Amino acid sequence: MEYRRLGQSGLKVSEVGLGCNNFGMRIDQEATTAVVNACFDHGVTFFDTADVYGGTKSEVMLGEALNGKRQQVVLATKWAMAAPADQPAGSRRYIVSAVEASLKRLKTDYIDLYQMHRPDPDTPIEETLSALDDLVSAGKVRYIGNSNYTGWQIADADWAAKTAHTARFVSAQNNYSLLERKVEFEVTPACERFGLGVLPFFPLASGLLTGKYKRGEAPAEGTRLAAMGARAAQALNDKNFDKVEALEAWAGERGHTILELAFAWLLGHGVVSSVIAGATKPEQVAANAATAGWKLTPAEVEEVSKLAA
């Protein structure tokens, strides 16, 4: 496993991170601890959760699994999705209460990366950044990031932070994969311009880039797309399968799987700091971690990009 700087921060994160949305939703504490322990075995040190994952259980279970190992990891969580109607997610009032709740559940006195899970159109970004800056000054949060922001929102927040001399966002977490590339229009260019590290989520496009779904076949029981019901049809279309089959062939000719290609292609972009992938079993952690060993050349990244266009 290799490690990269998270944007312009002082944090170093593993190239493959663990998304913890399965904790408390698809797996229990015993399985969660097994997955976390597997991360230590394979050099994965970046853990990403949120206060809404598993109905808050993800933070609780991750905190328990990291007992005695907190100092060895970069711990990231998110807030905003659970904000009540009378407390805007970006307001000082809500942020202060949200961070205290997350710290308690995670059994820690600081969060390495505290991310706003979605933009709040009802609160001036200046208020949000001021509240976050106070958390950084107090030592409860080391760095701040955003998630699901647009390019202009990233630029606006950076300008506001520079103007007010507050902490700046150092990362942007967005849906990004070989099959979902809308962020390339504005988000990744904004991140490059303002020094944010990109943290792609859904790097395997809900499993389409694992090779386990086949054209003309219904999703197997227990898979993510099977649980999506009618929505799965939107992903399991001929256009996507054309791309998947072309990518499988390209990777296979070079002795690799499409899963390995999905990670290697994202990591082939310098603006990407870590690729976040979930796991419910230790062997999935091992498979995800192994992908970091394949380095694509710039020419190969471009060739694969055209295959997936």
Is residue 217 in a domain? no
Residue 45 is assigned to a structural domain of this protein: yes
For residue range 125-143, list pLDDT tens digits in order.
999 999 999 999 999 999 9
In percent, the amount of the chain with pLDDT more than 70 equals: 95
pLDDT at 223 over 80: no
Per-residue model confidence (pLDDT) at position 218: 73
Strand partners, 19: 48, 278
249 assigned to some structural domain: no
300 in a structural domain? no
Kindly report the CATH number assigned to the domain that includes residue 168.
3.20.20.100
- pTM over 0.75, yes/no: yes
Cα 205 to Cα 262: distance, rounded to the nearest angstrom: 9
Reported as type and span, the H/E element at residue 60 is helix 57-65
Distance between CA atoms of residues 187 and 67, nearest Å: 36
End-to-end CA distance of the chain: 29
Q: Is residue 48 part of a domain?
A: yes
The count of structural domains within the chain is 1
Confidence label for 226 from pLDDT (cuts 50, 70 and 90)? low
Name the average pLDDT for the chain.
94
Question: So which residues are the catalytic ones?
Answer: 53
The answer to whether residue 59 sits within a structural domain is yes
Q: Is residue 241 part of a domain?
A: no
| Domain extent for 164 | 3-208+266-294
69-106 residue pLDDT tens = 999 999 999 999 999 989 999 999 999 999 999 999 99
Q: Is residue 90 part of a domain?
A: yes
Query: Is the pLDDT at 233 greater than 80, yes or no?
Result: no
**189 pLDDT more than 70:** yes
Q: How deeply is 136 buried, as exposed, middle or buried, from its count of CB atoms within 10 A (0-12, 13-18, 19+)?
A: middle
